[in-house]
């Protein structure tokens, strides 16, 4: 029981009355909350570790981000998400604050158990994410002030939380309108978008987000 309680407190399992414990499933609200907590933790951790990021460490992080771009082109969200985790830990793996390290590990573990990938649900966010990684590395490389780096790292994670929130709201609108299907059309598929829009849907809300 104590082990189950610990897993429950970490958000790794949920206890359902008359059923028992089960592995926590995707919950956009909980993922959003965890991303917002990580935004604060990662912002601070990235800022205090930035002075220790020499040219070799920055290059290592940059290479991880390049692999993320390759995963994006290959439509591989699983690899993309794993590399995203690796990228962020590369920025603060040498953090001298052991308590902060434990908090980061705990929140990432919680996030990993609640989702396959946020980018699966908000595909347009992935490309913007790697661009923000490049800008963040540029700030670190150019010895930007700690406050500037912290805000950039924080805003980066909050942007993912906001994108997930927006997509969840769109989905709820579709369900509330009696819809049964949600199509996410990539920006390079305008023909598919036009064909879907032309179909005689009984009732549908179409959010044109082809710019993403």
**pLDDT tens-digit readout, 81-122:** 899 999 999 999 989 999 999 999 999 988 887 655 555 556
- Number of structural domains (the chain) is 2
Q: What is the pLDDT of residues 8-30, one digit of tens each?
A: 554 444 555 555 554 444 467 88
pTM over the 0.85 mark: no
Q: Are residue 163 and residue 62 in the same domain, yes or no?
A: yes
For residue 112, is it within any domain? Answer: yes
Average pLDDT over residues 164-183: 65
116-143 pLDDT tens trace: 555 555 667 888 999 999 999 999 999 9
Residues 44 and 111 in one domain: yes
Helix (H, G, I), strand (E, B) or coil at 7: helix
Residue 70 within any structural domain of the chain: yes
Claim to verify: residue 88 and residue 153 sit in the same structural domain: yes
SS3 at position 14 = strand
Residues 59 and 162 in one domain: yes
Over residues 25-46, mean pLDDT: 87
Question: What would the two tokens of residue 122 be?
Answer: 């908000």
- 113/68 same-domain check: yes
Question: Are residues 41 and 102 in contact, defined by beta-carbon separation less than 8 angstroms?
Answer: no
Backbone angles phi, psi at 106, to 5 degrees: -65, -45
The answer as to whether 106 is a domain residue is yes
pLDDT at 28: 72
Residue range(s) defining the domain that contains residue 193: 177-212
Task: Please give the Cα distance from 183 to 185 (Å, whole number).
Answer: 6
Q: Give the rounded percent of residues in the chain with a pLDDT score beyond 70.
A: 62
Are 49 and 121 in a shared domain? yes
* One domain, residues 64 and 99: yes
- Quick one: angle between helices 146-176 and 28-49, nearest 10? 170
CATH number for the domain spanning 131: value is 1.20.120.530
């Amino acid at each position: 029981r104590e082990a189950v309680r610990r897993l429950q407190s970490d958000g790794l399992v949920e206890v359902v009355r008359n059923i028992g414990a089960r592995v926590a499933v995707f919950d956009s609200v909980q993922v959003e909350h965890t991303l917002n907590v990580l935004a604060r933790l990662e912002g601070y951790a990235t800022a205090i570790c930035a002075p220790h990021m020499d040219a070799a460490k920055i290059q290592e992080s940059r290479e991880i981000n390049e692999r993320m771009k390759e995963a994006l082109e290959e439509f591989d969200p699983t690899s993309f998400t794993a590399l995203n985790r690796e990228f962020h830990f590369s920025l603060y793996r040498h953090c001298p604050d052991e308590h902060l390290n434990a908090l980061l590990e705990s929140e990432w573990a919680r996030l990993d158990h609640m989702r396959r990938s946020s980018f699966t649900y908000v595909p347009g966010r992935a490309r913007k994410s790697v661009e923000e990684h490049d800008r963040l590395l540029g700030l670190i490389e150019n010895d930007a002030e700690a406050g500037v780096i912290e805000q950039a790292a924080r805003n980066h994670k909050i942007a993912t939380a906001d994108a997930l929130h927006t997509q969840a709201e769109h989905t709820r609108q579709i369900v509330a309108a009696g819809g049964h299907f949600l199509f996410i059309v990539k920006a390079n598929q305008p023909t598919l978008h036009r064909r879907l829009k032309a179909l005689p849907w009984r009732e549908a809300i179409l959010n044109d987000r082809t710019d993403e």
